[in-house]
């Protein structure tokens, strides 16, 4: 019998009802917490006296943002330059030394980074190291002061386990399946243009790409011809000859994607060419949630359509899966978009557009749950690579006042202390 199971189940169930989210609930609970401290003042004092016993009066408090020290940045292959440089900017701005480990799969970028980048940076502070899984495993045995990893959830676990050995803090920028809800009020062509562009950009090898569409059966019937229009407009009648459509990074990923083309019903595309590692922009209709294409991040130019009967069913489907990196909702009714936002969780959210939210440096970028932890972009990058050191500078010459905090605690001293600490009623000693 697991002594925690029942409690954890009860709390998870409550969270899923959305009970803790309204501001009113939070305020009530915090007020109640305040009452607990007030009502039980004597018991708590006695308990603290029994256990410990100490007091604090602040003189001057501030946060000092200082560099962690030696940072490791590990990048993936899909945007091999951008995903190396963006975190590097934050790490340098915060004052760290950095070891950069590019992906061995995007080998041309890896080569340029290794050969050229060190010439532009102070080599006593910055280094590019090379290697695949084995070498990176070896690298991770060393102690770093911070690790910033971008890649798959599978390798994210390996990185986090290695970091745990040294209690090294991590940012994990991971992937997953990003749902895209389209309700019946939408103009199908507008949605199709947007989704097709974001899905097939970089041949679908984008972590924030809409991974699958959730819509009604009727909307599916209207979306398929609209998606066909968009694909033809973007890539011509034969997308294989289009200079605007990318290729799959390698044979392994090509084979994996080819295996997914058998899911659902091919409504558009479905062709592939192994010699060129070409997969046509593909739409799969009537896909079941249990099929292979719905089990893993697609990371390719394939778009499954999964039909749902209601907004409730959509929310339920999204919430029983891992929390996504990004979530999209299309509707002409702002209430619908707001409902999807309020009743789900994800690293980021965009209503009536694709991944434009990640182009804004005013918004933090990152995942939640299995899509990652930590945030960066803009000022958030600086904060991520900084240790927010909590500092207190006590004025010298306060000994007379400080004398109050030393035992023995006479009733008079306790009265005075109460008065001194009056403005900090939440200080728990």
Nearer to ligand NAD, 175 or 304 (CB): 175
With CB under 6 A as the rule, give the number of residues binding ligand NAD.
Answer: 28
> Could you give the dihedral angle defined by the CA atoms of residues 339, 343, 346 and 351, in that order, rounded to the nearest 10 degrees?
0
CA distances from 270 to 158, 239, 279 (A): 34, 12, 7
Name the active-site residue from 97, 110, 173, 180: 173
Q: Is 132 in the site for ligand NAD (CB under 6 A)?
A: yes
Q: Give the CB-nearest residue to ligand NAD.
A: 175
Choice from 151, 179, 269, 374 touching ligand NAD (CB under 6 A): 151
CA 19 to chain centre: 23
The candidate with the shortest Cα–Cα distance to 150, out of 78, 91, 212, is 78
Stretch that binds ligand NAD, among 74-82, 239-247, 305-313, 417-425 (CB under 6 A): 74-82
Q: Is 22 in the site for ligand NAD (CB under 6 A)?
A: no
Peptide linkage before 408 cis (omega within 30 of 0): yes
Choice from 95, 137, 270, 378 touching ligand NAD (CB under 6 A): 137
Name the active-site residue from 194, 207, 263, 350: 207
Q: Is 386 in the site for ligand NAD (CB under 6 A)?
A: no
Stretch that binds ligand NAD, among 118-126, 171-179, 315-323, 328-336 (CB under 6 A): 171-179
Choice from 83, 84, 98, 214 touching ligand NAD (CB under 6 A): 83
Task: Report whether 368 contacts 347 (CB < 8 A).
Answer: yes
Cα distance between residue 88 and residue 84, in whole Å = 6
> Which 177-216 residues touch ligand NAD, going by CB under 6 A?
207
Q: Is 323 in the site for ligand NAD (CB under 6 A)?
A: no
Q: Is 86 in the site for ligand NAD (CB under 6 A)?
A: no
The candidate with the shortest Cα–Cα distance to 172, out of 139, 200, 148, 203, is 148
Nearer to ligand NAD, 150 or 381 (CB): 150
Choice from 75, 203, 223, 373 touching ligand NAD (CB under 6 A): 75
The verdict on whether 215 is a catalytic residue reads no
Choice from 186, 297, 323, 374 touching ligand NAD (CB under 6 A): 297
CA 75 to chain centre: 15
CB of 299 to ligand NAD, least distance (A): 6
Q: Is 315 in the site for ligand NAD (CB under 6 A)?
A: no
Q: Is 158 in the site for ligand NAD (CB under 6 A)?
A: yes
The verdict on whether 173 is a catalytic residue reads yes
Locate 47 and state its tokens.
Answer: 């308990």
Q: Is 109 in the site for ligand NAD (CB under 6 A)?
A: no
Report the catalytic residues. 173, 207
Which chain residues interact with ligand NAD by CB under 6 A?
74-78, 83, 101, 103-105, 132-133, 136-137, 150-152, 155, 158, 173-175, 207, 297, 299, 325, 367, 372
């Amino acid at each position: 019998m697991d002594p925690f199971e029942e409690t954890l189940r009860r709390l998870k169930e409550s969270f899923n009802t959305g009970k803790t989210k309204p501001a009113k609930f939070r305020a009530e609970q915090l007020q109640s917490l305040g009452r607990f401290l007030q009502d039980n003042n004597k018991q708590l004092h006695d308990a603290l006296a029994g256990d410990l016993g100490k007091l604090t009066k602040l003189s001057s408090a501030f946060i000092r943002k200082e560099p962690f020290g030696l940072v490791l940045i590990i990048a993936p292959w899909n945007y091999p330059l951008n995903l190396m440089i963006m975190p590097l900017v934050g790490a340098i701005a915060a004052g760290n030394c950095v070891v950069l480990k590019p992906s061995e799969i995007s080998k041309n970028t890896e080569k340029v980074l290794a050969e050229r980048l060190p010439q532009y940076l102070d080599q006593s502070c910055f280094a590019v190291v090379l290697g695949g899984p084995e070498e990176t495993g070896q690298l991770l045995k060393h102690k770093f002061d911070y690790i910033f990893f971008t890649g798959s959830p599978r390798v994210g676990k390996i990185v986090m386990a290695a970091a745990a050995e040294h209690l090294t803090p991590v940012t994990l920028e991971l992937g997953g399946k990003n749902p895209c809800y389209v309700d019946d009020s939408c103009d199908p062509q507008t949605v199709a243009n947007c989704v097709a562009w974001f899905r097939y950009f970089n041949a679908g090898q984008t972590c924030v790409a809409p991974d699958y569409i959730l819509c009604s059966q009727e909307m599916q019937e209207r979306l398929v011809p609209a998606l066909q229009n968009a694909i033809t407009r973007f890539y011509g009648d034969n997308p294989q000859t289009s200079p605007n459509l990318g290729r799959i990074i390698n044979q392994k990923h090509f084979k994996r994607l080819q295996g997914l083309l058998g899911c659902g019903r091919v409504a558009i595309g479905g062709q592939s060419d192994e010699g060129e590692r070409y997969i046509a922009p593909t739409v799969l209709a009537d896909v079941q949630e249990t099929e292979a294409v719905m089990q893993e991040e697609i990371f390719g130019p394939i778009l499954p359509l999964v039909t749902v009967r209601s907004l409730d069913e959509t929310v339920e489907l999204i919430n029983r899966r891992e929390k996504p990196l990004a979530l999209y909702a299309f509707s002409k009714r702002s209430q619908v978009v707001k409902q999807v936002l309020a009743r789900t969780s994800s690293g980021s959210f965009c209503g009536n557009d694709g991944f434009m939210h990640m182009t804004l440096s005013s918004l933090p970028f990152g995942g939640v749950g299995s899509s990652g932890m930590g945030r960066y972009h803009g000022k958030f990058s600086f904060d991520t690579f900084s240790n927010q050191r909590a500092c207190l500078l006590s004025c010298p010459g306060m000994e007379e006042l400080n004398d109050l905090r030393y035992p023995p605690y006479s009733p008079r001293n306790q009265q005075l202390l109460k008065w001194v600490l009056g403005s900090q009623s939440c200080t728990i000693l």
